Each structure stands twice: as structure tokens, then as C-alpha cells.
Copies of this chain bind each other. A is one copy, B any other.
């Protein structure tokens, strides 16, 4: 299925972009059709085909990104905003890029500092059973000793409204299953993540004392998934946590038969904002160094697992793009700037600070790309732009990635850290990958280095290196 889609995308992308309609270059003088791949090449393919081949071959054979990721995950570990390990990761990234000869620096950003404490939850009636939970990032603590209350299981926000009268004094549990991955629709994450993000505030409006959400995943081995949530200042802030799929289903089965009482104890703390930083590293352009092709990932992670796929992979890919180009002696006309944003997971303060601190040069940003979907096989790019021609333009460049199967370019969300840049006219790109297993480990203890295939990680480096080089050199 993937292959079929990729082939269609290759076919579409191989159409040379000519800035407008007209006779395609692969229709010959006599009007007979010939495959563009066989007989003719786009201007970009003509100009950059050989370089792209060289970059891809070098990057695919290289294991530098994996070595960097192994250090970041095994030696430093997870990296929540405000943590000492995030500070270490930032220091390491700056030093690593400097040691490789790049201009690199940290740009200070203040970030939220939330700390998870002891957490536990259990069913206490009609049976006693411990539950596998993870407090959501930013949750308030329960009162000392915990909360004991009946649970109301809801299947949607509409269901919550319908049961509003029963919610006062209760714990609301959102039991909404994430649809499984499909080749056509991708993951079902976007369909259900709002229950994690807004479940607490919606439940608090009706007087709930806590909100629980079924883990946002389609595959579980009793695995709770944390993630961001938001409070509404107009309603009380109530404690909130994710519950493993298995335990959510158990509670729902019991609740279908009679009253169920839960106990929840969270000892999290919101500390004063802490200093952190975005990491910047640059391969300066030889002709137009003030024009910028931005490529990035986020250096922070949740406080579980190793933050390997989310988003250690994105960070090391970008670092290795610079390394690759340097090793090949390739200096494009414009500057390629790596940005490793801080605080993507619980605040976007890094992204906001970048947009603000670099406001004066945003008009010189040719594009900005974020890789934040893991280390899996690259498939292409999502483009988010005010420019209606942007998809077509990047599709032409991405046609160079046919050896990687990464030629699929379509309009779509690019990256969370690009949100503040898009309204400023910057074209955003997201690296799309084969995401079928990404959400199995997303925001869990299982987001660890072993989930990373060194080859597909290297393929990601290859894809971004070609795209960034061509965009910076055109």
C-alpha cells in the first residue's frame, strides 16, 4: 500500500515544475509521451541530480546520526523542560556542532518547570486493582492523600455534556479509542488527542474533581502515555492523568455493570520558570549568508523513556545534515541553520522565542523544516505555506529523493515549532515518515533507542540534506 502511494507520488512529483501551465517537458516535439524519468529531466534534476546522488550515497552509508542519538539517549536520557538533563543536552549539542567546525550557540529562553512526583491510582470498588497511569504534563497535584471518587466514563465531549448532571464530585474518564494507523489516513492521533489536551478543563466546568484519559495510542502493553494538557483559568484546575488502554477498558467494563470508585494520587509540582535555550548551528552560505534555510527538531522531551523518536531523532538528523554536507565539501549559496527548539512538549516557549528574537530576519527565511515524527523511513514532506506554489516547488526538489522513496509532497501541518513562523510568511515543511508505529511508544517509557533503525535514521538525514542543500543553493 505504501509502495503504491509512493509510486503515485513519485509520478506526480516527477512532473517538472515550470512556474505555470504549458506543455510538460516530457511531451516530445511530436507530442508522443515519454516517461520523464527515462527521457528527460527537470531543470532541478539536471542541475542537482549528481549532487543529490552523492549526498544520498554518503548519508545512507553514514552512522553519525545514530552515534549522536546514542549519546543523547543513553548518556543524557529524557529531557523535560527545566531538568538538568535538558541543560546537559543543550550543552552537548552546542559543543558537538562547534567541535565539528560549525557556528553554534545557545539562545536563552525561559521555560515552564513542571516536575512529576509520586503517582498512583487504583480501583477501590467494586474490586481492588492497581492502575497503570501517567500524570499529564502540567497537571496539578491531588490534595494530600489523594482523591477518592466515583468515576463517570464518557465516550466523547457530547457524552460528557449528556452526563453533565452526574459529573459533579466525580472523576471523569474519557474512553475514546484512537483509530489504528492506515496508509490513507495515517495515525488516528489527531482524532482523539483533544481529550488529553482539553479533557480536564471540560470536565472541571461540570464540577469533576479529576479527569482521566485513555492513553492516546492504538497499541498497548499496559502502557500509559503522557502528554500536554491545558487548563482554563475560568474553571478550577483539576488533576489529570492518562490511564493505560487496558485499565481504561477494565474500568469501562465494570462501570457498565455498576458504580465504580477510583482513588488517584498525584504529587506533581509547578516550579518557577527555568532558564533553557534553543540551540542554533549554522553552515554559512557562500553567496547569500543572510538568507536562511532552517532545519530543526526539538531538544526537549517528556520525562519518561529516552525521548529517542520524540524528538532525539529529529535533532540528530539535523545536526548530521550539516556534518554530511561539510564532509562532502558542499557549501550552498544560502545559510543552512539548524535550530533545536526547547520546550516543544509543554509550552512552545522555544518556538515563540525564536520567532520573536529573529523577527527581523524571518523575511529572509527561504523555508523552515521540522522533523518530529520519529526515525522511520522518510516518505516526503508536508508543506504549510501562504504560497500556493510551494507544494509544487518542493515536490520538484523532492523528486530527487526517489532512491529513498521520499518524494511524496502534500499540503499539511508542518511542525509544532513552526506554528509561530507560518503567519510571518515562512514556508513550513514537516518531514513525513512511515509512521505506523510512532504512536505505540510516543510519550512513554518505551520511546527508547532500540526503536530506532540506524538505516532509516540515516535515510532521514539523506532526505533532509538533499532538500536543504538544494533549497539553499537554488
Q: Which A residues are within 8 Å of any B CB, using their own CB?
A: 70, 74-75, 77, 126-127, 129, 132, 219-223, 245-246, 249-250, 253-254, 305, 440-441, 444-446, 448-450
Contacts and interface: CB of A to CB of B under 8 A. Distances in A.
Copies of this chain = 2
Contacts of A129: 77
Contacts of A219: 221
Contact of A74 (B127, B221, B448, B450): B127
Contacts of A249: 448-450
Contact of A254 (B74, B440, B450): B74
A125 to B, nearest CB: 12
B221 A70 contact: no
Given A74-B253, A127-B74, A250-B74, A221 B441 contact: yes
Given A249-B450, A449-B250, A450-B246, A222 B77 contact: no
A188 to B, nearest CB: 17
A448 B246 CA distance: 7
Contact of A223 (B127, B221, B250): B221
Nearest to A78: B129
A305 B220 CA distance: 13
Contacts of A132: 445
A257 to B, nearest CB: 9
Contacts of A448: 222, 246, 249-250
Nearest to A305: B222
Nearest to A77: B129
User: Shortest 10 CB-CB distances between A and B: which pairs?
Assistant: A221-B446, A222-B446, A221-B221, A222-B445, A246-B448, A221-B223, A249-B450, A246-B450, A74-B253, A75-B127
A215 to B, nearest CB: 11
Contacts of A445: 132, 221-222
Contacts of A253: 70, 74, 449
Nearest to A440: B221
B446 A220 contact: yes
A446 B220 CA distance: 8
A373 to B, nearest CB: 18
11 contacts: A74-B127, A75-B126, A220-B221, A221-B221, A221-B223, A221-B444, A221-B446, A222-B223, A222-B305, A223-B446, A246-B446
A444 B222 CA distance: 9
A254 B449 CA distance: 12
B127 A77 contact: yes
A356 to B, nearest CB: 36
